[in-house]
């Protein structure tokens, strides 16, 4: 299995059985992301323990890329501090938009790198980023809806 196939497997797997896919009762924070170009819409829920993301979930509908990316986002930031999660957001955003920062060689990023290929498809970048934008908005406690537009 080559690297490209491995990455497709990760995306297929997370799309077929998304992790932490539920509405969180008594969430501390939540934010909804909307990507009207593709029709993706999802809400990210957070339970904070001080500065630590004690629990994270998402719920919504959309294309395979947006669902799989949000799923992998939840497993990536679970148990992390706000600062660590924002670092991951920055690195992920940079990776899918072809920014200057390299992909960190960490266990988490070896999976997140599944989405590096979307940089060749600008319309899909918004799909891959949607869950992360909603996470960022929830961490920043920005009320209401975030949109990729």
Q: Which residues bind Zn ion (CB under 5 A)?
A: 38, 40, 63, 66, 127
User: How far apart, in whole angstroms, are the C-alpha atoms of residue 56 and residue 76?
Assistant: 10
Nearer to Zn ion, 130 or 137 (CB): 130
Nearer to Zn ion, 63 or 116 (CB): 63
Nearer to Zn ion, 37 or 54 (CB): 37
Residue 130 beta carbon to Zn ion: minimum distance, rounded to whole angstroms: 7
Residue 37 beta carbon to Zn ion: minimum distance, rounded to whole angstroms: 8
Residue 62 beta carbon to Zn ion: minimum distance, rounded to whole angstroms: 5
Cβ atoms of residues 55 and 5 within 8 Å: no
Nearer to Zn ion, 15 or 29 (CB): 15
Specify which residues 29 forms β-bridges with. 46
What are 81's two structure tokens?
């501090």
Cβ atoms of residues 65 and 29 within 8 Å: no
Vertex 135: Cα angle to 133 and 137 (nearest 5): 70
b/e 116-141 (16+ beta carbons within 10 angstroms → b): bbbbeeeebbbbbbbbbbbbbbbbee
Residue 126 beta carbon to Zn ion: minimum distance, rounded to whole angstroms: 7
């Amino acid at each position: 299995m080559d690297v490209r196939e491995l990455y497709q497997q990760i995306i297929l797997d997370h799309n077929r059985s998304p992790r932490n896919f539920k509405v969180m009762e008594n969430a501390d924070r939540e934010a909804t992301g909307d990507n009207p170009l593709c029709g993706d819409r999802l809400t990210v829920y957070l339970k904070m323990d001080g500065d630590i993301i004690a629990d994270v979930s998402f719920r919504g509908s959309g294309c395979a890329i947006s669902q799989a990316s949000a799923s992998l986002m939840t497993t990536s930031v679970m148990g992390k501090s706000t600062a660590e999660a924002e670092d991951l957001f920055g690195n992920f955003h940079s990776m899918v938009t072809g920014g200057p920062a390299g992909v960190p060689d960490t266990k988490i990023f070896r999976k997140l790198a599944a989405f590096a290929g979307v940089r060749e498809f600008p319309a899909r970048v918004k799909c891959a980023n949607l869950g992360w934008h909603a996470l960022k908005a929830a961490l920043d406690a920005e009320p209401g809806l975030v949109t990729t537009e």
